[in-house]
Amino acid sequence: MNRFVQSFLCAYQSEAGEGDQSGGGAPKTFTAEEVQAAIAAAVADEVAGLKASRDELLAEKKASDKRRQEAEEARKLAEQRAMKEEGRFDEFEKTIRGQYDPLIAEKDAQLSAMQNRILSSEKNGVIGSLVGDFIDPSAADVLALLVRTEFEGNEVVTKFAGADGKVITTDPAQFRKYLREHKAFSHLLKADAASGGGAAGGKGGGAASSFSEMTEEERKELNRKNPAEFERQMKLQRGK
């Protein structure tokens, strides 16, 4: 029988007994509310007791784990000191590696995951700036095969590959030119992109107008149709 039920029955019998003594024989009766209140109080006491026992056991386990860890660390330290004093340097190095290699591997895995996120974000940004030149946005799948991002030292470098998989340039403008002139990609480009990287109105047999040669309307049109190219042209113009 549960402790809270026993507690409730004891309380019930005690109060009933008191009713018999004071009332001359008639047992004391309880309302439904009184019964529910008594059960709730007993349950609360039981839960509080269980929580206290659980917290005590957890505290004991933590203390035991800490003592065991400290003892193991002390044992390893003593063992390593003995190896060093006795000149067993190969064994000493092996124990050190066994102790720290898992931590180094964990940090390496975290660093690799972070680098992959950075490269993926950079690659998606480059693809996003190019996909607007294409008729169908699904061209992003093709660009994903041609755009590569990698670290060179601490710098992220984007490289563009050709249809044969070989890197052809790191310059987005040159890559756009390659796409416009390659028969496998040119028909996938929008008419304005194919005739000049998004510039409105070709000049000189199809060559794109330079930013400085464009009219205000042409610049607005370029910004509307290809904001990435507009920004690139703006930066080139400012750099002159």
User: Would you state the pLDDT for residue 1?
Assistant: 46
Measured CA distances, 177 to 123, 130, 181, 200 (Å) = 19, 12, 6, 16
Whether residue 12 lies inside any domain: the answer is no
Determine the average pLDDT of the residues in 53-79: 75
Whether residue 25 lies inside any domain: the answer is no
Do 196 and 235 share a domain, yes or no?
yes
Range of 21-25, 31-35, 77-81, 198-202 with top mean pLDDT: 31-35
Count of CA atoms in the C-beta half-sphere (13 A) of 86: 10
CA distance 12 to 18: 10
CA distance 156 to 232: 19
- Provide long-range contacts, Cβ within 8 A and 24+ apart, for 13-17: none
User: Would you state the pLDDT for residue 206?
Assistant: 39
33: exposed, middle or buried (Cβ count in 10 Å: 0-12, 13-18, 19+): exposed
Q: Quick one: tokens of 45?
A: 């006491």
Whether residue 224 lies inside any domain: the answer is yes
Examine the fold and report which residue of 141, 170, 199 is the final residue of a domain before the chain moves on: 170
Helix/strand/coil for 50? helix
Examine the fold and report which residue of 170, 199, 214 is the final residue of a domain before the chain moves on: 170
Looking at 5-19, 120-134, 174-188, which range is the least confident one? 5-19
Do 119 and 159 share a domain, yes or no?
yes
Measured CA distances, 28 to 24, 41, 147 (Å) = 11, 20, 88
Measured CA distances, 199 to 170, 188, 196 (Å) = 22, 17, 5
Do 166 and 113 share a domain, yes or no?
yes
Give the domain extent around 233: 190-240
Whether residue 130 lies inside any domain: the answer is yes
CA–CA–CA angle 85, 86, 90 (5° rounding): 100
Q: Percent of the chain having pLDDT more than 90?
A: 11
User: Would you state the pLDDT for residue 25?
Assistant: 54
Determine the average pLDDT of the residues in 38-56: 77
CA distance 34 to 27: 15
Looking at 50-64, 75-89, 200-214, which range is the least confident one? 200-214
pLDDT band, very low/low/confident/very high, at 199 (cuts 50, 70, 90): very low
pLDDT over 60 at 205, yes or no: no
Whether residue 125 lies inside any domain: the answer is yes
Whether residue 156 lies inside any domain: the answer is yes
Strands 167-169 and 155-161: antiparallel
Whether residue 219 lies inside any domain: the answer is yes
Whether residue 123 lies inside any domain: the answer is yes
Q: Record the pTM.
A: 0.41
Report the domain count for the chain: 2
